[in-house]
Amino acid sequence: MDQTDEPPLKIIRDKERELAQRLRDAELKAREKLAAARARAAEIKIEAERSGQVDAEEFFREGIARVEKAAAAIGEAASRDAEQLLRIGEKQLDRAAQIVVGFIFPK
């Protein structure tokens, strides 16, 4: 039987079934692509978070190293200043003692 011999309603129903199946197939493919895209987006997000974590840790380590270096320099400068003040004080000790004695026992 030729398609032209079939009743028009049957031809329409067959076409509707065919189109409905094609629509279901298209929806399935779209859902699969959407699921794949969501999975890829999740992977990209995880990779970005890891990369950001690594960058942040490196930035933190560099900052700590700079602070430790500055602290060491400050400590060294303070030690040098203390030694210099000690030397100056030792040189002035006799004079300071004379001033104290002169203050306590005025002439």
Measured between alpha carbons, how far is 80 from 75 in angstroms, rounded to an integer? 9
Cα separations in angstroms, 46 against 9, 33, 42, 66, 104: 55, 20, 6, 30, 78
The owner of tokens 């279901």 is 24
pTM of the predicted model over 0.85: no
- The reported pLDDT for the residue numbered 4 is 67
pLDDT, one tens digit per residue, over 69-84 is: 999 999 999 999 999 9
- Which tens digit of pLDDT belongs to each residue from 11-61? 999 999 999 999 999 999 999 999 999 999 999 999 999 999 999 999 999
